[in-house]
Amino acid sequence: MSSRTPYKVLCVCLGNICRSPTAEVVFRHYCDAQQLNIWVDSAGTSNYHPGKAPDARSQQHALQRGYDLSALRARQLTTRDFLDFDLILAMDQENLQNIQHLKHHAAEEYGAELLRAKVALMSEHDPQYPRHEVPDPYYGEADGFERVLDQCESSAQAWINILKTELA
């Protein structure tokens, strides 16, 4: 990994305990596999679960595919994140709207010219799930957690193909 400042990606869902921690670890896995200088983090639009580890079901399903989520802790998205990150990825349309709303507050707080973050859907470039939402698995069954992993793997690879060219 080079010492250049990394490109910074933030994955965002509602609670930061199911979808976005999964997206974070999957995204990082593909960045590391291609030795890309990309920093990955995650956050939630809500403050429902601050400091909590990812949902046990998310951890269990992820581990079956070799992804370890155990060290992650939930946090809420803040206006500062729009200064710090280059790309903020929403898991669904409601998250996208809430992120855009907070971005307006960040612009008022810091000045629009200081904001770095572009905001997009996780599935923006995904050929398999084009602009599909990553469905919230929290109140569902095991297949919902597998679906999150399937979509995160597919969407992360699609983003990495785009970023590889942009960052080259």
Find the shortest distance in angstroms from Cβ 108 to ligand 4NP. Answer: 26
126 carries an active-site annotation: no
Cα 40 to Cα 22: distance, rounded to the nearest angstrom: 11
Cα 4 to Cα 6: distance, rounded to the nearest angstrom: 6
Site residue total, ligand 4NP (CB under 6 A): 10
149, 26 Cβ separation under 8 angstroms: yes
Rule CB under 6 A: is residue 90 a binding residue for ligand 4NP?
A: no
136 carries an active-site annotation: yes
4 carries an active-site annotation: no
Rule CB under 6 A: is residue 17 a binding residue for ligand 4NP?
A: yes
Q: Which stretch binds ligand 4NP (CB under 6 A): 14-22, 26-34, 118-126, 153-161?
A: 14-22
Q: Which stretch binds ligand 4NP (CB under 6 A): 7-15, 26-34, 78-86, 107-115?
A: 7-15
DSSP string, 36-94: --EEEEEEESS-SSTTPPPPHHHHHHHHHTT---TT----B--TTHHHH-SEEEESSHH
What part of residues 19-58 is at the interface with ligand 4NP (CB under 6 A)?
19, 48
Which residues are CB-contacts of 114 (< 8 A; sequence separation ≥ 6)?
83
Q: Strand order in 87-90's β-sheet?
A: 38-44, 7-13, 87-90, 118-121
What part of residues 130-159 is at the interface with ligand 4NP (CB under 6 A)?
136, 138
* Token pair recorded at residue 91: 């898991």
Find the shortest distance in angstroms from Cβ 81 to ligand 4NP. Answer: 16
Rule CB under 6 A: is residue 15 a binding residue for ligand 4NP?
A: yes
Question: Which is closer to ligand 4NP, CB of 44 or CB of 106?
Answer: 44
The residues annotated with a catalytic role in the active site are 13, 19, 136
